[in-house]
Chains A and B, each alone.
Chain A
Amino acid sequence: MENQDYIICECQLEALEAFVSSIEPVFEIKIVRAPSICMTMVQAEDAVEYQPFYLGEALTTECELIVNGQKGYGICLGDEPLRCYCMAFIDAITQLKDIDLSKTYQFLNEQARLIEEAKKIEYNHIQRTKVDFKLMEQD
């Protein structure tokens, strides 16, 4: 699913954890790399001449699982062991063939809707600070 990782990274952790807990018992899960923190160097470029440079590092959590024989990876910013585990789990199951993913997509679609709504609300609050300064000689 497009935006799957975005939804998992941005949704409410409690909802994600509850959903994964509800479906994981039917899968055989092997933890290859338990969630652990590391760093990611953030690459940037100046927006004018596109010269690359390193902005700084970001704390990252990574996790690797094998679910029913399928590898799944989770990588998310911050110290987020639960979210990262869930990301790896959903990454693995969405690559499995012959399983019913309707519940998973239903969950992700619902979370996507909530995230977009929250984003839109924030955007509209920000738009209230739009200003149109008049020059002194103007009315």
Chain B
Amino acid sequence: MGYVAVKGGTDAIHNSHELVEFYRLRDAVTPIDIKQIRSQLRLAVDKVMGEGGLYAPDYAAIALKQAEGEVFEAAFIIRAFRTTLQRRFYSETINTRELFIKRKISASFREIPGGQILGPTRDYTQRILDTGKVEETAEDIKKFLEVFESKIDREKLQSVKTYTKVIDLLREEGLLKPIDKNEDRRLVDITREAIKFPAPRSARLQMMARAETGGLMAMGYSSMRGFGSVHPTVGELRYGHLPVRIKDPSGRIRYAGKIEITEAEMVSSVSAAKKNAVPKFTIGYGLCFGQNDTKVICMGILDSTMRSPDTGSPANDQEFVLYHTEGIEAMGFTNHLKLPHYVDFQSALSNIRGAIERNEQLKEGQKAEEVTFMQP
């Protein structure tokens, strides 16, 4: 059964959009400033950029305001916005070893180069609702910042450093599984080329970088719980900002700004495939815009699972993982169910009514035969 379009309803749709604005504004409270969203809803902005596939903090903040804080909707708006822009440049390959470290932890090693830096995290909080936030004033913010700033001695500042990665140490010791030379290493752009399965790793990483965090988490969690076999350890998780360089039209490579990213290397051990061969570690890789630990951890898990195809485990099935973690597609498809399906449904209704009618006629026919049979 094909789709049948509907028409009309323009006024009601327009009024509905107006009503959305009414419900957003009817309390007539102070409008939220975009800077406030960028600053105080930082992690939501990061999610919108990551899932929208466009690094643009101000625009992500606008989308969040427009969508009344609905991250799916905001990411959808950003995806739509990016289609209106021309892609003029490709950056030079970013180097995560240049990261200005804001957070750097390892669950595999206690002592790592430069030490464990917790950075901004709520990992060790009890998630107790802070009702004091209700009373927060500009004066409180100013006071907090003054006290915070006074906690370091500006006369004795340490110099900024970059640090060796944990995986570099594992590699130096020869503990990592060698690169599979038969793996498809083509660089594919899934925004320009429809994905085909099996997809090269570049396509899988790109799709996961803009996948929905909750979707990735569900898939990664399923593997850890036993519907798969990957239960890794965080080799290293880093968050910070790094430079983006672009070749200008004269051919010179120019510094163009910095982006915030989170990166994870997830370590799993693999037993040797051949007898007498030594076991090695494999690394699953996760990288995304902004600060999002959950996303990169799960991306790392799924990077590992998808390298061991197994249609029996959802997390090891590329098509299952990639299609079902694509938040905008999933949201679009789910929400299309609300659109008029009158003709579809009428057809189903008429089929079911017909079947019931035929069934009743059959029953009546059988009853009539039984009555005839019972008459002497």
Contacts and interface: CB of A to CB of B under 8 A. Distances in A.
Physical interaction between A and B: yes
Interface of A: 3, 5-6, 9-10, 37-49, 51-60, 62, 64, 71, 73, 75-79, 119-121, 123-133, 135
Contact of B91 (A49, A58, A59, A133): A58
Contacts of B87: 38-41, 57
Contacts of B149: 121
A42 B203 CA distance: 14
A77 B259 CA distance: 9
A126 B254 CA distance: 28
Q: Which of B85, B119, B254 has the most C-beta atoms of chain A within 10 angstroms of its own C-beta?
A: B254
Contact of B55 (A42, A49, A54, A126): A42
A6 B246 CA distance: 12
Contact of B118 (A41, A51, A131): A131
Considering the complex of A and B, which 3 residue pairs feature the smallest CB-CB distances, nearest first? Answer: A77-B257, A59-B56, A58-B55
Contacts of A64: 249
B201 interface: yes
A132 B206 contact: no
Nearest to B245: A5
A56 B157 CA distance: 35
Contacts of B165: 47
A122 B259 CA distance: 16
Contacts of A126: 101-103, 117, 119
A77 B120 CA distance: 24
Contacts of A52: 93, 187, 202
Given A6-B243, A58-B55, A53 B201 contact: yes
B304 to A, nearest CB: 11
A104 B158 CA distance: 29
Interface in B79-110: 82, 85-94, 96-97, 100-103, 110
B360 interface: no
A73 B179 contact: no
Contacts of B210: 56
A48 B283 contact: yes
A75 B94 contact: no
Given A46-B303, A75-B246, A125-B152, 20 more contacts: A9-B257, A40-B91, A40-B244, A42-B244, A42-B259, A44-B94, A47-B165, A47-B167, A47-B285, A55-B209, A55-B288, A56-B49, A58-B54, A58-B91, A62-B88, A77-B256, A119-B160, A130-B117, A130-B118, A132-B110
Q: Which of A38, A55, A79 has the most C-beta atoms of chain B within 10 angstroms of its own C-beta?
A: A55
A53 B259 CA distance: 16
B3 interface: no
A75 B252 CA distance: 11
Contact of B265 (A47, A58, A71): A47
A9 to B, nearest CB: 5
A11 to B, nearest CB: 12
Nearest to B159: A120
Given A46-B287, A126-B117, A51 B202 contact: yes
Contact of B88 (A40, A77, A119, A129): A40
Interface string B28-60: 000000000000000000000110011111110
Contact of B82 (A5, A57, A79): A57
Contacts of A3: 255
Nearest to B59: A59
A133 B148 CA distance: 24
28 contacts: A10-B258, A37-B85, A39-B89, A41-B90, A43-B92, A47-B96, A47-B97, A51-B185, A53-B202, A55-B209, A56-B49, A58-B259, A59-B55, A59-B59, A62-B89, A64-B249, A73-B249, A73-B252, A121-B157, A123-B100, A123-B158, A123-B160, A129-B119, A129-B120, A131-B118, A132-B110, A132-B116, A133-B116
A56 B60 CA distance: 14
